[in-house]
Structure 1
Amino acid sequence: MQQNNGLDKNQLISFALFSMILIGAMFYFQNKQAKDQQLKDAQNKTAVTQKAPVNNAKPAIVTNLNDSVKTASIQQIELKNKELTLAISTLGGQISTVQLNEYKAYNKKTDVNDKPLLIFDKNNSSYGFQFKDKSGKFFNTKDLVFSPVQNGNSVTMQTTVNGATIQFIYTLLDKYIVDFNVKTQGLSQLVSDQKADFIWNYNVRGMEKGRSQEQTHTEFNYTFNDYKSFDYDGRTTMEEPKENLNWLAVKQQFFSAVIEPQKGFKNSKGSQEMIEEGEFLKKFNFNGQVDLANNELNEDFKWYFMPLDLPMLKSYDKNFDELLPLGWSFIGTLNRWFFIPMYNLITSWGLAAGWVIFLMTIIVKIILSPVMFKQHKLSAMMKVIRPEIDAVNEKNKGADAMKKQQETMAVYRKAGVNQMAGCLPGLIQVPIFYALFRFFPNMIDLRGKSFWFAKDLTAYDDVIKLPFHIPFLQDHLSIFAIACTVVILIYTIMTAGNMQQPTQEGMPNMKVLMYIFPVTFLFFLNTSASGLSWYYFVSNAINILIILVIKYWILDEKKIHAQIQQNKTKGPKPEGKFQKRMREMMEKAQEQQKVQNTGKKK
């Protein structure tokens, strides 16, 4: 399996190159101690440490890359506000540490979220601008050493390369924003291209309990067409050679790092690679081009290191709310305008998150109750006419399947039973299920919220730990998932009794398939959000109660039988469009079969 020690290949090369330059610098300065001491004195006056007071002195300007390396030691400059704590390294002039102060990361040892939540740290991120000089060689700012000047929550990083000055100006703002302004002077004398490549290598650190679930939600996200269009890629590569990207994000389950260039990234491409184990989930590489104006790079960028909180994302007005994967089209609309507002409303009552989900389930069931009643009434009607269906099957035992099906449909039609009406509740449940499948693992308000034995409703509960690993189930059993599977199985047993058995050889027994389904559902729920399992446990438990209430207090099978007999005296109801089309298709298929049989006899 692939190991990860927090350093990628490019960083190792950079480290080796930097070490070689330092060794060369030591020999170079052996005979120039006086000048060396002079330079050190100047540096001591201008160098700023993390706890140093504001220093308004101008940074020392060096004449080439070697001088830059020799005259500056690697420092970490701290910027901090209520939301973020940043460390900016003089090596590469890049953000080396990003901590979200108001959130915590999952700690496997304690099984709760109590670790500092670090998006960048331990060299897991490296970025810089790559230029091509007039000799055809490339150099990258991430390999240069910068001199810092700090002023409150702003720091200016400056270096020189063969007479060209490069400045990175970072300013920490509110709302998880970091202004990143890039300025160059004299670069036009050094480079030949009208473009620079922004290269970002990033190993994403795991923040949550469910590794596989978090990996699934970790991907490239980006927008283009003046922030109007959005796309994502969670597989291997992303390529946008024609679009101008307004921003590029590496999104995780609940947090995201976003880089926004003022003029956009062109000819963008990226790759991602899954990391099987360790503290990192995926390895990302991105390359996007930025244009130079008169061979100089003077452009404003912004970094965003933010939680995926829907109201906050919408407040930026930059299409950031698309980072929250609530589902496409109707699914996303259902989450945005129904489930999230309902959750927020019930939460405002001061209830625990688990009971909020409980009430959400009841509200959904009340809304769907008319449809559920029709479904169970249809089920009762089919149970009453079962003897007549069995008689038709026995009568046509030797006949072809098409004829048997036609006569069966005639019985249903005569009794006033519309089989297709039973499909409606199932079809309605599909978008609701998928919407909740997106809702529970991505709702940051549920993150870290415990309920009974589940310590986090956005992750699985693993009270039952296994001493071995089972494919798909992993090394635990979720109590919520088991409970949900049991009630689904009970519900299936209660509803499968009215299902018609196959009347033709080779046809699958749907009862057996329905009994297998709840068991396979366990494999899905065992590693999913426990909030989802809790919702479906409550939902199916309510379904069971509804069946019992309808069966013993609402529907009377004798009355239903009398109604069916009355329907028969009135004659069959007019066919609906779908029923008519089905009958015509079956009749046409039967005629074609007769023609084929006649041809075979000849």
Structure 2
Amino acid sequence: MQQNNGIDKKQMISFAVLCLILFGVMFYFQNKQMKEEELKAQQQKTEQVKNAVKQTQASNINPDVTPNAIQTANLSNKELNVEFSSLGGQVSKVQLSEYKAYNHKTDEADLPLYLINKNNSNYGFQFKDKTGKVINTKNLVFSPTVNGNAVTMTANYNGAVIQFIYTLLPKYTLDFKVRTQGLASITSDNKADFIWDYNVRNLEKGRAQEQSHSEFSYAFNNYKDYDYDGRTTMEEEKETLNWIGVKQQFFSSVIEAKNGFTQSKGNQDNVEEGEYLKKFNYEGFVQMTGSELNQDFTWYFMPLDLPLLKSYDKNFDEILPLGWSFIGAMNRYFFMWLYGIIAAWGLSAGWVIFVMTIIVKLILSPIMYKQHKLSAMMKVIRPEIDEVNAKFKDADPMKKQQATMEVYRKAGVNQMAGCLPALVQIPIFYALFRFFPNFIDLRGQGFWFAKDLTAYDDLIKLPFKVPFLGDHLSVFAIACTIVILIYTVMTSGNMQQPQQEGMPNMKVLMYIFPITFLFFLNTSASGLSWYYFVSNAINILIILVIKYVILDEKKIHAQIQANKEKPKTEGKFQKRMREMMEQAQQQQQSQEQRNKKK
């Protein structure tokens, strides 16, 4: 048995050297990236001068309507710039003034952020006239009138007047009223079909990640209940929806109906490449009174900022996918709160995450101590376990298991205690998996060579695509994988090898796990990779301190011997396990006796 002779200097030095190498590589790539950015900036200025003299051309919105016949009107405040088109009387452009979109050409977030632009949104109210002809307001030509912060779009159809009245309000809100007069003379319908076709624009760097976060979201039951749908189709024909929206990674376009949408259904399809991520089609009915359509709606074109979403009091905060139940509560009331406190110190986002990681590790340190103490106890009683395995090598597996459990019981070792750290880490991991790519405060925040901690860093670009990896390698993901591998090697030393043929070698599986983790992290938020790099580096330091400073194998051995002398009382779990094993053994013996009689 080895005794604790103090800190293993070789291990400490090796780990310190490895950390220095990793940090050195990171700084090297950072300096290289800065030089490339300076060159790109010079090229960009040259391009801007060249493009300044180019004239833009208006696109033909509808082949049946000439561009000159289409009029536009504009409203703006500090949050939104909104354009309205006379074709359909609908919103034709929405820019969020305080945010920028990612530019794939410059690898920077330097583009105006448009939720609606270039006809990616198309909506209207559809009904039938008395001859059965289908009429949709999106095909009618309206005349715009601007009055302060309001635009009135007016259309005439066979003597009926249809008005869309838009009023731009604070907090990313656009009030939308529909008023008709004389519509009852041309239709007998008692409801109108609201049809909304919406193509989600690619606004972020991580296309696959943003695409996976784009989905339908909606509330019903007087705003109390919320649901979402990221699948191919959505059907809510029995519920009256208070609002329906299309959510993206950090932004959402939502329309609220004061009297609700009924018989709602929709579908969505991925777009594999280009400026759009997904195509959404929604259809729901709104009530008409006396065949007149007089309904109130509200459009929201908003960032998914939790305090803002909660301020509406319409269950919009559920749009932010922070996880269900305990996971969501952990993100809302701990990680977001903790990030805000540390960020108030004036640290950059990357160092805020660094400090967050240390605090989380300090909170979990008592659990880690128990885990490593159990590991040390397992190491001390390993010879006794090996004796049991050798003694019952050819015996009934049930007897061998009972003998093994008896060794653990006498030594005072609770195997189930080793599961606790893993069980605690699972919800934390999932909470952070939701936190980093959805926390808008991190959007656009760079750290070292990662330009956006909510997207992957692609400093190492590959000349070809690798399945599940893509066309890049994330330095943060690689660094994280290395420290996870080191941590795995350090913690798997006491793991027993399989005693029976055909059983998997758990050590090999544990070594494979960090490699597979690279494929997951390579396209995930770099903030997540940075967190787990720091977390596992701290884990390694904690292991070294606990193993060589705090724990003493000689004392642990003496404690185990003392435990063996004490009378043992079985816990409920141990008693239940023993009874189950005895019952199974009796059934096996009875079965063998019956077989002999036959």
The TM-score normalised by the length of structure 1 is 0.88
- Following superposition, the deviation at residue 305 of structure 1 comes to 0.3
Amino acid aligned to 1:276 = E
Contact kept, 8 Å, 1:185 with 1:296, in 2: the verdict is yes
Matched, 1:90 2:137: no
Which residue in the other structure is 1:445 paired with?
A: 441
Which of 572, 581, 598 is 1:577 aligned to? Answer: 572
| SS of corresponding position for 1:377 | helix
The answer (yes or no) to whether the contact 1:194–1:293 under 8 Å persists in 2 is yes
Matched letter for residue 554 of structure 1: I
Partner of 1:599: 594
CA shift, 1:597, in A, is 2.7
Map 1:495-534 → 2, pairs under 5 A: 495-534=491-530
1:286 aligns with 2:279: no
Distance 1:228 1:383 in 2: 54
Which secondary structure does the structure 2 equivalent of 1:431 belong to? Answer: helix
The 3-state SS of whatever aligns with 1:451 is coil
1:428 offset after TM fit, Å?
A: 0.5
Aligned to 2:545: 549
* Aligned-pair CA distance for 1:472: 1.1
5 Å-filtered alignment, 1:61-140, equals: 73-140=69-136
Q: Which residue number in structure 2 is paired with residue 253 of structure 1?
A: 249
Gaps of 5+ in 1: 1-11, 23-68
Single out whichever of 292-301 and 580-589 deviates more from structure 2: 580-589
Show CA shifts across 1:309-358 (max 9, x none): 00011111111100110000000010111100000000000001011001
Do residues 337 (structure 1) and 384 (structure 2) align?
Answer: no
What is aligned with 1:50? none
Within the candidate set 535, 538, 542, 2:534 is matched to 538
1:154 maps to 150
Q: Secondary structure at the match of 2:259?
A: coil
Residue 83 of structure 1 contacts residue 102 of structure 1 at CA under 8 Å; is this kept in 2? yes
Distance 1:145 1:314 in 2: 38
Letter in 1 for 2:575: K
**Displacement of 1:13:** 13
Distance 1:346 1:14 in 2: 49
The one of 311, 322, 333 equivalent to 1:326 is 322
- Match of residue 460 from structure 1: 456
**Pairing partner for 1:184 from 165, 180, 188:** 180
Counterparts of 1:425-444 in structure 2 under 5 Å? 425-444=421-440
Look up the SS of the partner of 2:296 in the other structure: strand
Shift of 1:14: 9.2
Alpha-carbon displacement from aligned partner over 1:501-523 (angstroms, at most 9, x marks no partner): 21222221111111111111111
User: For the Cα contact (< 8 Å) 1:77–1:89, is it kept in 2?
Assistant: yes
Task: Give the structure 2 partner of residue 269 of structure 1.
Answer: 265
* Cα distance, 1:298 vs structure 2: 0.7
Kindly report the root-mean-square deviation, in angstroms, between the aligned alpha carbons of the 2 structures: 1.4
CA deviation digits over 1:558-584, x for unaligned, max 9?
01001101111114x322222222222
Q: 1: CA distance between counterparts of 2:152 and 2:86? A: 10
1:361 partner letter: T
* One-letter code aligned to 1:240: E
Length, aligned pairs only: 539
d(CA) in 1 for partners of 2:285, 2:104: 40
Which residue of structure 1 lines up, in the alignment, with residue 391 of structure 2?
A: 395
Task: Please say if residues 401 and 504 of structure 1, whose CA atoms lie closer than 8 Å, have aligned partners that are also in contact.
Answer: no
1:15 to 58, 62, 69: 62
Match of 1:62 in 2: none
Task: Tell me the SS of whatever aligns to 1:452.
Answer: coil
Deviation at 1:403, TM superposition (A): 1.3
Distance 2:122 2:391 in 1: 77
Determine if the alignment matches structure 1 residue 236 to structure 2 residue 243: no
Distance across 1 between alignment mates of 2:533 and 2:588: 48
Q: How far apart are the structure 2 equivalents of 1:206 and 1:266?
A: 30
Task: After superposition, give the CA deviation of every residue in 1:86-105 in whole Å (9 maximum; x if it has no partner).
Answer: 11000000000000000000
Unpaired segments ≥5 residues, structure 2: 1-58
The C-alpha deviation readout for 1:244-263, integer Å capped at 9, x for no partner, is 10110100000000000110
Contact 2:61 2:119 (8 Å CA) reproduced: no
Q: Report whether the alignment pairs 1:352 with 2:348.
A: yes
CA contact (8 A) 1:14 1:143 kept: no
Counterpart residue number, 1:590: 585
Q: Deviations over 1:480-500 (max 9, x none)?
A: 111111111111100101112
**Equivalence for 1:378:** 374
Q: Is the 8 A contact 1:210 1:460 kept in 2?
A: yes
